[in-house]
């Protein structure tokens, strides 16, 4: 059977390593400097030239989307793993803390993608949001079954709360620690009395 010339070809091993290094470096640089971090800075941190970065990611939008989607997939995988935790309340709290760390590390990445979606994937934001809500719903359902959270609490409310905390602390010198402390206070208000 002849190969389809339009089908994407597998990457060479060295190209895959460069791709992975660029994505990892972008995640680190964005966490340090925000979504407006320079592509040159990302290339330097990855140890590749600007041309190599642009060969893998022809636009800034493409790189940002890859980083964001990878983070969302990791967050959803963590939720899936936590479904087997024997303590549904602890599982939900652990995941909400991971959502908080995700939001703090994004430093404006999600908002940047939503506002600058020219030429990008117009469905990325809603698809990622749906993935996160579904992951949270499964954990929240388990926590409700053992009466660990108030029945009127929704996943969307929890995600808004975590996002607001992350936004309020992203410019703090110790933003992740401050976000975690505020989240602990908020979680106490979500628990059943």
Residue range(s) in the chain whose domain bears CATH number 1.10.10: 11-58
- The residues pairing with 54 across neighbouring beta strands, listed in sequence order, are none
Report d(CA 44, CA 77) in Å as an integer.
30
- Model pLDDT, residue 156: 95
Average pLDDT, the chain: 87
23 vs 15, higher pLDDT: 23
- Model pLDDT, residue 102: 84
- Model pLDDT, residue 98: 92
Residue 6, pLDDT above cutoff 70: no
Q: What is the pLDDT of residues 93-115, one digit of tens each?
A: 999 999 988 887 777 777 666 65
128 vs 156, higher pLDDT: 156
- Model pLDDT, residue 103: 82
- Model pLDDT, residue 31: 82
- Model pLDDT, residue 44: 96
119 three-state secondary structure: coil
Residue 53, pLDDT above cutoff 90: yes
Buried (b) or exposed (e) across 73-88, using 16+ Cβ within 10 A?
A: eebbebbeebeeeeeb
- Model pLDDT, residue 170: 76
| pLDDT classification of 160: cutoffs 50, 70, 90 | very high
- Domain 60-190: which CATH class? mainly alpha
Q: Which two tokens stand for residue 28?
A: 């680190």
- Domain 11-58: which CATH class? mainly alpha
| Range from 86-90, 107-111, 160-164, 174-178 that averages highest in pLDDT | 86-90
| pLDDT classification of 117: cutoffs 50, 70, 90 | low
- Model pLDDT, residue 151: 92
Q: Which two tokens stand for residue 64?
A: 């940002």
Residue range(s) in the chain whose domain bears CATH number 1.10.357.10: 60-190
Question: What are the backbone dihedrals phi and psi of residue 23, each rounded to the nearest 5 degrees, phi first?
Answer: -65, -45
């Amino acid at each position: 059977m002849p190969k389809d010339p339009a089908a994407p070809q597998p990457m060479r091993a060295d190209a895959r390593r460069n791709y992975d290094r660029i994505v990892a470096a972008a995640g680190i640089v964005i966490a340090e400097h925000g979504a407006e971090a320079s592509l040159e800075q990302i290339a330097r941190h990855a140890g590749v030239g600007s041309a190599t970065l642009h060969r893998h990611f022809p636009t800034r939008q493409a790189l940002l989307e890859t980083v964001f989607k990878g983070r969302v997939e990791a967050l959803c995988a963590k939720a899936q793993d936590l479904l087997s935790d024997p303590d549904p309340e602890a599982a939900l709290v652990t995941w909400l803390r991971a959502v908080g760390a995700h939001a703090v590390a994004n430093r404006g990445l999600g908002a940047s993608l939503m506002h600058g979606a020219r030429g990008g994937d117009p469905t990325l934001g809603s698809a990622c949001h749906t993935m996160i809500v579904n992951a949270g719903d499964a954990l929240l359902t388990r926590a409700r079954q053992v009466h660990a959270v108030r029945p009127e609490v929704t996943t969307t409310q929890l995600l808004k709360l975590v996002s607001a905390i992350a936004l309020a602390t992203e410019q703090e010198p110790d933003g992740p620690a401050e976000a975690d402390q505020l989240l602990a206070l908020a979680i106490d208000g979500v628990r059943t009395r």
